[in-house]
Structure 1
Amino acid sequence: MERGKWKMEFLFVLLALLGGCIREEEFDDSPRGNFEALWKIIDEQYCFLDYKQIDWDGIHDKYKPLITAGMPDDGLFEVLDNMLAELKDGHVNLYSASNMARYWDWYLDYPRNFNEGIIERTYLGKSYRIAGGLKYKILEDNVGYVYYESFSDGVGDGNLDEVLSYLSACNGLIFDVRNNGGGNLTFSTRIASRFTNEKVLTGYIMHKTGKGHSDFSAPEPIYLEPSNSIRWQKKVMLLTNRHSYSATNDFVNAMRYFPNVTVVGDKTGGGSGLPFSSELPNGWGVRFSASPHLDAQKEHIEFGIEPDVKVDMDKEDEDKGVDTIIEKARELLKVG
């Protein structure tokens, strides 16, 4: 099934399921009402409760006593923030006019494996080129280097044509998505399609079909079609770290199925659940993972994707202004 088609079907299913998640049972705009509304939204619509073995009923009992009549908004927000943090999901957020609840331990608890200062000074320098969201340069050993900071930064087909044409004489390519926290899946598909000559099965999507924690549709296949424009034919080293998340996780998952691509660095941060938004009685917004994305073996990638070659930044290298992971990628490009 084409990605655009399953995205549309996914939207229709979620609109039907989520549109009435609060109206089915009326909750008043009180601390208790907002607490119960949020708990119920997650209970019926969050897609990883069973996979993560989360006792959501137990979490309800844990946080309910902390809710008191007349408690201030800041106090209520803190309790709801802490409750959502039990999901350990960077796609889960609560929004008020004054704050945003977020879970960032999925990367803060791990080695950073990235130093933007070294990238800017040692590798990109002052003469790099920019095409859409891509920063790129030919390194002195005739290796192409591309850094993509965010999948929220647009990349058009014209940009990709220019970048790949400019780097075409290079012996190989380093594509760096470290610290890319995600963004638009369209750009993930658009870029990945430049690295395959064949239609490739890259994963599966499941949709919520009911209120039970395991109520999902059968997995629907996701295929990536090759671009009908310029495609890269040489070796690629794809650099990742724990802050490679969400749409970046999707990109890495697709790219790893191509024979000319090697994933180098640290495990990605994950974030495979497509997010959806709802609202509490007091108007606070809530975003959460609503539809699981599996890999081509029908395995979850919510907790991240392991690299082919595990490399961590070396402190002595950093002190010298050297990126250990980039240097390993350059070394691998010279082999074979």
Structure 2
Amino acid sequence: MLIIKRLSIRTLFIVFFSLFGCNQNKCNLNGTWEQEGYGRILQIKDSLFAYYNITEESCLPLVEKDNFNGRWKLVKATDTELVLNPGGEVDYSFTRIDSIPENCNKATYNNTPKENFEVLWKTFNDHYAFFKPRNINWNDIYKKYLPVIDTVSSDKELYSVFKEILNQFDDGHIKLIVPDSLKEISKPETIAKTKPIIKERIKADIIKEYVSDAKTYNHVVTWGKLKHNSYGYIHISDMNNFAHYVANEIADKQEFRNRYDEISQAKKPKELFNDEVAGVDYIMNKILNDFKDTDAIVVDLRFNGGGYGRVALQLLQYFIKESRHVMTIKAKNKDHFTDNQKIILTPAKSGYKGELIVLTSHNTASAAEVFVLGTLAYPEIKRYGSSTRGIFSEILWKNLPNGWEFSLSNEIYTDINGIGYEVKGIPPNYKMSYPKLKSDFYKSFYKKNGFHDHLLDSLLLDHRDLNAPTLALVK
């Protein structure tokens, strides 16, 4: 079980009044609620809700009418305060306000390049949490690009300017979604697909060379016993797509993906999150039954670019032996932060009793890093490889007056000692000097003498490639 604790005394009053002052959570939720941090307004009317992205000057609809119970889990409620969970690690706090801001009722905005620039700049200014570690002077960006914006005369030019600004962050959670007609196709389609193909090839070669009796689930988890020792091996390629929707007998990945997407896209968000977590429980019980005679399990996250943080922590629960505080999360809210939320992890009932070894690379990112961050609370869990990518925050989605969407990192994740790993990533206990560039990382598995996974060679001492780079203990 994942437990989230708020670290403010105020919450004790919320709990008290939600039980006694609000008729046991049967409050009238209808009305308008301002979210603490995140720059959003929530409007509830009976079973429906609307959600708005706001700055001091703008209010843009993100969700106009949707089913409340299909999106939100009610955590706590009083007549004046509301705590909801959208399916992740973090609860969202809201305060009731008298009415929706007047500009939320505007039918249209002045859809000018300057108006869009102002909304983009202000949103980042209020909520982006990592200007300093990424060496971004946001005020200088404003001064530099405002004159440029005044010369923009088309959407394509505006897209080019925004792309130039956002690329300076080198943050994998910053995205800009625009119409396809504005994008320039710089690579042939066959080249664009090269990286996923190489990733799948490396995975297949690892399984072929190092793993016996391999099994797969949802094309996202592959497991078996490592050859030459008694370790179990689990390759997890994503922290999503765990729901048990489609028969695992479908070997063709594209056919499986089409069927899975058809089912998952019909689900309401809350139901989908619940199905993802249930899928983790389903497959982990099968895997651990296969590994009941092993001394240790190697979890390979070197190729895992993320997904749902909730899935990552659900997986980690199967490898811990006692409840502990594993991380703390807060969100940037203009010139301050939201209350800390303390994440406490509790072991699964049928968890693994042996040793856990986690493999990481610079391509271990986002929700996969949430898994790795959780392991820091358990010193007996060892990490091999290279530092992770360094992007932890849930993606905060925003929109512009012209209809474009963009995202940013607004949450700070820290370990039990209050240390954050944004940008720098989480270091391993035993270091393998992997290249940071993804293409070079993939190439490192193939040399003149064929395929070698030097990290697994180093773990499997009696099968070790004597010419492989040695692992260095990080002190």
Shorter-chain TM-score above 0.5: yes
Q: Does 1:135 align with 2:222?
A: yes
The one-character-per-residue Cα deviations of 1:12-33 (angstroms, maximum 9, x if unpaired) are 4233497322238896211121
CA distance in 2, matches of 1:84, 1:308: 33
CA distance in 2, matches of 1:2, 1:175: 20
Match of 2:318 in 1: 194
Match of 1:106 in 2: none
Q: Which amino acid aligns with 2:223?
A: Y
Q: Give secondary structure in 1 for the equivalent of 2:406.
A: strand
Q: Does 1:308 align with 2:429?
A: yes
In structure 2, do the counterparts of structure 1 residues 16 and 49 end up closer, same or farther at CA, with 3 Å as the change threshold? farther
Match of 2:285 in 1: 161
CA distance in 2, matches of 1:134, 1:247: 15
Match of 1:104 in 2: none
Q: Does 1:320 align with 2:354?
A: no
Kept after mapping to 1: 8 A contact 2:213/2:225: no
The one-character-per-residue Cα deviations of 1:109-153 (angstroms, maximum 9, x if unpaired) are xxxxx9653431243469520134310111222321110001122
2:330 to 203, 206, 216: 206
In structure 2, do the counterparts of structure 1 residues 146 and 312 end up closer, same or farther at CA, with 3 Å as the change threshold? same
In structure 2, do the counterparts of structure 1 residues 284 and 198 end up closer, same or farther at CA, with 3 Å as the change threshold? same
Q: Does 1:149 align with 2:237?
A: yes
Kept after mapping to 2: 8 A contact 1:131/1:163: no
Q: What is the deviation of 1:325?
A: 1.2
CA distance in 2, matches of 1:294, 1:186: 16
Match of 2:389 in 1: 269
Kept after mapping to 1: 8 A contact 2:5/2:344: no
Match of 2:63 in 1: none
Deviates more, 1:83-92 or 1:123-132: 123-132
Q: Give secondary structure in 1 for the equivalent of 2:121.
A: helix
**How many residues are matched?**
315
The one-character-per-residue Cα deviations of 1:280-324 (angstroms, maximum 9, x if unpaired) are 010000111122111111111212100110013695874432101
Q: What is the deviation of 1:89?
A: 1.3
Considering Cα pairs closer than 8 Å and 6+ residues apart, tell me whether 1 or 2 has the greater RCO.
1
Q: Does 1:65 align with 2:147?
A: yes
Kept after mapping to 1: 8 A contact 2:5/2:343: no
Match of 2:160 in 1: 78
TM-score (norm 2): 0.60
Kept after mapping to 2: 8 A contact 1:262/1:308: yes
Mind listing any 5+ residue stretches in structure 2 that lack a counterpart? Answer: 7-13, 15-33, 43-51, 60-100, 185-197, 243-278, 435-442, 465-475
Match of 1:117 in 2: 201
CA distance in 2, matches of 1:165, 1:294: 33
Kept after mapping to 2: 8 A contact 1:174/1:329: no
CA distance in 2, matches of 1:323, 1:198: 33
In structure 2, do the counterparts of structure 1 residues 117 and 265 end up closer, same or farther at CA, with 3 Å as the change threshold? same
Mind listing any 5+ residue stretches in structure 1 that lack a counterpart? Answer: 102-113
Deviates more, 1:244-253 or 1:233-242: 233-242
2:346 to 195, 200, 225: 225
TM-score (norm 1): 0.83
Q: What is the deviation of 1:159?
A: 0.5
Q: Which amino acid aligns with 2:222?
A: K
Q: What is the deviation of 1:44?
A: 1.1
Match of 1:185 in 2: 309
Q: What is the deviation of 1:81?
A: 1.1
CA distance in 2, matches of 1:5, 1:16: 24
Q: What is the deviation of 1:242?
A: 0.7
Please identify the structure whose Cα radius of gyration is greater: 2
The one-character-per-residue Cα deviations of 1:40-76 (angstroms, maximum 9, x if unpaired) are 1111121222454531010111222222455221221
CA distance in 2, matches of 1:195, 1:287: 33
Percent same amino acid at aligned positions? 23
Higher strand share: 2
